[in-house]
């Protein structure tokens, strides 16, 4: 019987060695190596995080803020390296979501069978 922590570290290593993660790292490094794209990406992330935080705290998000956020998204989407980075982020997120689905299956099965 494998230990949970050993298995988790094996999985961590497998994720780190996956094409998805490696390509994310390449895309991230490329954006970070250029001052303009780095600033644009940082600005994008900060805007996203501020809005997310407001949403979580139940604060109102103004129409102006929504418009501003849309503009920032449009801007980064037109930037080849940043849009590539965002694409790779989505791929790694999808992989991690799939992994989460797999490892929480026993819990879902436990709570799923008898409730229905």
List interacting residues with a second copy (CB under 8 A).
1-18, 21, 24-25, 28, 32, 42, 58, 92, 95-96, 98-100, 102-107, 110-111, 114-115
Torsion, Cα 91 96 98 99, to 10 degrees, reads: 150
Residues 44, 82 contacting (CB under 8 angstroms):
yes
Measured from the CB of residue 12, what is the shortest distance to a second copy in angstroms? 5
- Comparing CB distances to Ca ion, the nearer of 52 and 68 is 52
**Which of Ca ion, a second copy, none does 112 bind, CB closer than 5 to 8 A by kind?**
Ca ion
Would you tell me how many other CB atoms lie within 10 Å of the CB of residue 11? 13
**Which of a second copy, Ca ion, none does 32 bind, CB closer than 5 to 8 A by kind?**
a second copy
How far apart CA 63 and CA 53 sit, in angstroms, is: 16
- Comparing CB distances to a second copy, the nearer of 41 and 79 is 41
Measured from the CB of residue 116, what is the shortest distance to Ca ion in angstroms? 4
- Comparing CB distances to a second copy, the nearer of 74 and 109 is 109
Which chain residues interact with Ca ion by CB under 5 A?
A: 112, 115-116
Q: Is residue 58 left, alpha or beta, with left meaning phi > 0 and alpha meaning psi from -120 to 50?
A: left
Where helices occur in the chain by DSSP H, the ranges are 4-16, 19-33, 35-56, 63-78, 80-103, 105-113
């Amino acid at each position: 019987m494998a230990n949970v922590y050993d298995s988790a570290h094996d999985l961590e290593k497998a994720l780190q060695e996956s094409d998805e993660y490696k390509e994310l790292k390449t895309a991230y490094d490329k954006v970070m190596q250029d001052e303009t794209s780095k600033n644009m990406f940082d600005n994008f992330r900060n805007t996203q995080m501020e809005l997310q935080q407001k949403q979580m705290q139940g604060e109102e998000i103004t129409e102006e803020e929504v418009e501003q956020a849309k503009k920032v998204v449009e801007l980064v989407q037109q930037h080849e390296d940043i849009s590539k980075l965002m694409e790779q982020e989505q791929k790694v997120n999808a992989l991690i979501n799939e992994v989460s689905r797999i490892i929480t299956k026993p819990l879902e099965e436990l709570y799923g069978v008898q409730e229905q």
